[in-house]
Amino acid sequence: MTRKLFGTDGVRGTANQYPMTAEMALKIGAAAGRYFRNDGSNGHRVVIGKDTRLSGYMFENALTAGLTSTGMNVLLLGPVPTPAVGMLTTTMRADVGIMISASHNPHHDNGIKFFGPDGFKLSDEAEAEIEAMVFADIQLAQSINIGRAKRIDDGRFRYAERVKATFPQGQNLKGLKVVIDCANGAAHKVAPEVLWELGAEVIPVGVSPNGYNINENCGSTSPRTAAETIVSHGADVGICLDGDADRIMILDEKGNVADGDQLMALMAGRWADEGRLSGGALVATVMSNLGLERYLDGRGLRLERTNVGDRYVVERMRAGGYNLGGEQSGHIVMTDFATTGDGLLAGLQFLAAMIATGKKASELTKSFETVPQMLKNVRYSAGSDPLSAESVKKAIADAEGLLVGKGRLLIRKSGTEPLVRVMAECEDAALLEQVVDGIVAEVQTAA
């Protein structure tokens, strides 16, 4: 079935343009309500969180209207991180959790992510059923069975206590000076609070959201401000989150950035040494660097690769019984503690490693040498399919031939934006540039 709404991480797009309109959000809410309130009773509930985008108010109200119209009771959490929604869906015995966020995208975008009653993101099959209901006649509840909605004031604090409980017992962060960049997003209150309560000296960045500045020149996709702050304040380490705080980048004491691959390598090695790494494997996507795979192989560990998208990582983890996975982009999933990527939780695990080893951040963020990797994005117009063009197919085939035994190539469409992503890895820098630029040129022509 061809998807009209759902991508790799829920429904996403520009606010007030299809499909991210209030009208569509109302229909999505009603369809989700009908899907989860399948026995007709009035005991069903849904928790809704959001980040700090101005359009969040609109979508929060529209979803609430749709959900209550089909008999669901709505608990509104306000601005909280995405992982908090996953957690609170289970602890508050909700049937479904919804996060209103476009993650690392700019403020004019927004999205709707779903969590099932187990706190994990919905399967493709469940999303397909909800999508089908959106475009069909949705049976509304009888007047007497319309749902209620109310604000929940302590969701942030419940999440904070759960995250702090993952920090090693008897340890604290006293003596560490930590820069925390919250991307003017969902964690702008809870992340600095958690770090301070654990004993750190906290220097906050990106904690003044105004509805428009989420991810703007800050956060995991733009860590320069945090890097400059680390150097100017003589901080020990920096933690950069994205707009909904499910991603992280670690910065060392010099302001150098370590991506999700380096953080996963550190954790996999430490967990393996401690006998905590289930199945002797780390789950990551096809985007993770070849250097990570080589590092794990040298440790006698495996890298299990999946399609791009943290929920595909989680699906593989659950199917194989693995407890550590993530993405190069900074989604780090630790199913011993959480049901989805959690930037703050991952940051605490890194800080715990600093405390336990007594090492500087720079000594812990270079577990392996990365293989040179180049990624370029090509935007294409709606309705076109540049990857089907014969000229593009030939360019890809030629590039694959050049890279045999020297590297690897990955071409894919983004699941959240109209982009073709062209990625290659090769230790020959000139060849790397040649194959990527050659494919990009053909895709641009076909787009």
Q: Which residues are catalytic?
A: 103
Contact in structure between 283 and 324 (CB atoms under 8 Å): yes
CB atoms within 10 A of CB 39: 7
In angstroms, how far is CA 268 from the centroid of its own chain?
19
Q: Give the C-alpha separation, 406 to 224, whole Å.
A: 33
Q: Give the C-alpha separation, 83 to 99, whole Å.
A: 9
User: Which neighbouring-strand residues pair with 205?
Assistant: 181
Contact in structure between 250 and 258 (CB atoms under 8 Å): yes
Q: Give the C-alpha separation, 238 to 422, whole Å.
A: 30
Give, to the nearest 10 degrees, the angle between helix 343-357 and helix 82-91: 100
Contact in structure between 100 and 54 (CB atoms under 8 Å): no
Q: Which residue has the tokens 């209550």?
A: 68
CB atoms within 10 A of CB 149: 17
Q: Give the C-alpha separation, 66 to 23, whole Å.
A: 9
CA dihedral 10, 415, 284, 122 (to 10 degrees): 20
Side chain identity at 204, as an amino acid letter? P
Give, to the nearest 10 degrees, the angle between helix 290-298 and helix 260-273: 10
Give, to the nearest 10 degrees, the angle between helix 124-134 and helix 22-36: 120
Q: Which residue has the tokens 């958690």?
A: 194
State whether residue 96 is helix, strand or coil: strand
Q: Give the C-alpha separation, 319 to 278, whole Å.
A: 12
In terms of Cβ atoms closer than 10 Å to its own Cβ (0-12, 13-18, 19+), residue 170 is exposed
Q: Give the C-alpha separation, 27 to 253, whole Å.
A: 48
Strands across the sheet containing 407-413: 373-379, 419-426, 407-413
Side chain identity at 143, as an amino acid letter? S
